[in-house]
Amino acid sequence: MPLPHFKQSLFSICVVVNKLETSRHQNLDNPAAMLTGNNTNGPYLQWAHDIGNAYCHGGFSYSNGDLVVPRDGLYSVYLQITYSGSVCPFHKKLMNKVLHSSEEYNNDMTLLSSIHTMSCSEDVWSKSLYTAGFFFLKAKDKLRVMSSHPEYITKKEYEVFFGAVLFPH
């Protein structure tokens, strides 16, 4: 008699796994993007968007530093940048900005910012700055990131990332 119970349990597990798999693919329709640290050439940071943990789903696109919003809505926007070095830049101000531009106005407006003034007691140092918020964004709006000291940014994808997620209704 234990065999029918086992078959029922196995069937239940398969149903749950199938539902989770279906749910995971349905979530790809919800706009979400996470970009990870790549390089820092030019005025805006450049990002990886399709390797490792990086992705653009649900209509998000990435081009030359710009994360392009797919549709109107309330988005959670987030940024983390980790800086490190072997000689402490005593009293240097580390600053990150998420900038926003739209078709209505062509210049960058600061959406988010995080600031830290370094004061080190050791030569080897590191500092992570994180910021996030909810914003109403429109389709085709562009988000990009600037840093005051890109030369100190680490290259690890779990320390340097930027993204946005549409808040579900």
Each residue of 101-132: pLDDT tens digit?
A: 998 888 899 999 999 988 777 778 889 999 99
Question: How many structural domains does the chain have?
Answer: 1
On the CB side of 69, CA atoms within 13 Å amount to: 26
Domain hosting 142: range is 30-164
Angle CA 137–43–150, to nearest 5: 105
Q: Which of 168, 167, 162, 164 has its CA nearest to residue 37?
A: 162
For residue 60, give the nearest of 24, 25, 35, 97 by alpha carbon: 35
Confidence of residue 4 (pLDDT cuts 50, 70, 90): low
Task: Please report, for the domain that includes residue 38, its CATH number.
Answer: 2.60.120.40
**Domain-located, residue 22:** no
DSSP state of 152: G
Q: Is residue 25 part of a domain?
A: no
28: its two tokens = 């790809």
Expressed in angstroms, the distance from the first to the final Cα of the chain is 47
Q: What is the pLDDT of residue 12?
A: 46
pLDDT at 49: 94
* Interatomic CA distance for residues 142 and 90, integer angstroms: 34
26 Cα distance to chain centroid: 20
Task: Evaluate whether residue 12 is within a structural domain.
Answer: no
Supply the DSSP symbol for 121: S
Q: Within a domain: residue 37?
A: yes
Q: What is the mean pLDDT of the chain?
A: 84
CA nearest neighbour of 36 among 17, 59, 62, 58? 62
pTM: 0.80
Q: Answer yes or no: is 6 within a domain.
A: no
- Assess if residue 16 is contained within a domain: no
Closest CA to 165 of 55, 63, 81, 66: 55
| 111 located within any domain | yes
Residue 135 located in a structural domain? yes
Instruction: Specify the pLDDT at position 23.
Output: 42
